[in-house]
Homo-oligomer: A and B are copies of this chain.
Amino acid sequence: MFYYQIDDNIKLSLPDIHRADEIAALVGENLERLRPWMPWAVDEYSAEHAKDFIQRTLKEFAENGRFNVMIEVNEHLAGSLGFHDLDTVNRSAAIGYWIGKEFEGRGIVSRCCRVLIDYLFDTMKLNRVQINCNVENIRSRAVPERLGFKLEGIHRQVEYHNEKYGDWAVYAMLKDEWNKLER
C-alpha cells in the first residue's frame, strides 16, 4: 500500500504481502536473466518465496531501517531496488537492483538509484555507498559507471553461485563526491 513517487510514471513501493503473486510472476518471467547473477532466483520461485522476501524485508525495515522496494512503472511491478550491508558505525551500505526485460534500457534503474543514494546520504547520514557487480554483468556495471561511481578493485572468486566462482567489480561513491556531481 505504501510507496514513494519518483515521477509521473515510476514509484518505489514497499513489498506488500497482498501482492506476493505479482512479485512471483515478475520473477518467473525474468528467471533466465536473473539466474546467472542472483542466488535467490531459483527455478521453482513461487509466491511462498515472495512472501518470505516480503516479510524479511519489512522486518529489517522495522529493526534497522534497511529496505528493499519494488520498482513500479505505471502501476506495474517492474523490478526491485534495495540496500544491504548497512554499517552505521562506519556509515556505509551497498546497493543492489534488478529490472525486468520489458522495462530495460529506459534509464529506470539509474533514476531510482539516484533517489536511493540521496536518501542514504541525506536521510540515513551515510558516507559511502558501494555497488558490487559480477564482472561479466555488463548491464549491471553500466549503472554505477553512469552514476559516476569509482571502480575500486576486482575481487576474485568472491561469490560461489551455480557451481562456479564469480568475480566482483567493486564500485563506490563517497558523500562528498556525490554532492559535487551535478544532478
Residues of A within 8 A of B (CB): 1-5, 13-14, 17-18, 39, 55, 58-59, 61-63, 65, 89-92, 119, 123-124, 127-128, 130, 150, 152-160, 165, 170, 172, 174
Contact B128 A153 (CB under 8 A): no
Q: In whole Å, how far is A165's beta carbon from the nearest beta carbon of chain B?
A: 7
Cα of A65 to Cα of B84 in the assembled complex, Å = 23
Q: Which of B17, B62, B153, B154 contacts A65 (CB 8 A)?
A: B17
CB neighbours of A1 from chain B (8 A): 4, 119, 123
CA distance A58 to B14 in the complex (A): 12
CA gap between A157 and B129 in the complex, in Å? 10
Q: Are A157 and B170 in contact (CB under 8 A)?
A: no
15 A-B pairs within 8 Å (CB atoms) are namely A1-B119, A1-B123, A2-B2, A5-B5, A17-B65, A18-B124, A58-B58, A58-B61, A92-B158, A127-B157, A128-B156, A128-B157, A152-B154, A156-B172, A158-B172
| CB contact under 8 A between A174 and B155, given known A3-B4, A14-B14 | no
**Distance between A76 CB and nearest chain B CB, rounded to angstroms:** 18
A50 CB to closest chain B CB (Å) equals 15
Alpha-carbon distance between A58 and B1 when the two chains are bound, in angstroms: 14
A158 to chain B, nearest CB (A): 6
Indicate if the CB atoms of A155 and B127 lie closer than 8 Å: no
The 3 A-B residue pairs with the shortest CB-CB distance in the complex, in nearest-first order = A153-B153, A58-B62, A2-B2
Q: How far is the CB of A133 from chain B (nearest CB, A)?
A: 14
Distance in angstroms from A172 CB to nearest chain B CB is 6
Residue in A2, A128, A150 with the greatest tally of chain B CB atoms within 10 Å: A2
Q: Which residues of chain B have C-beta atoms less than 8 A from A170's C-beta? A: 153, 155
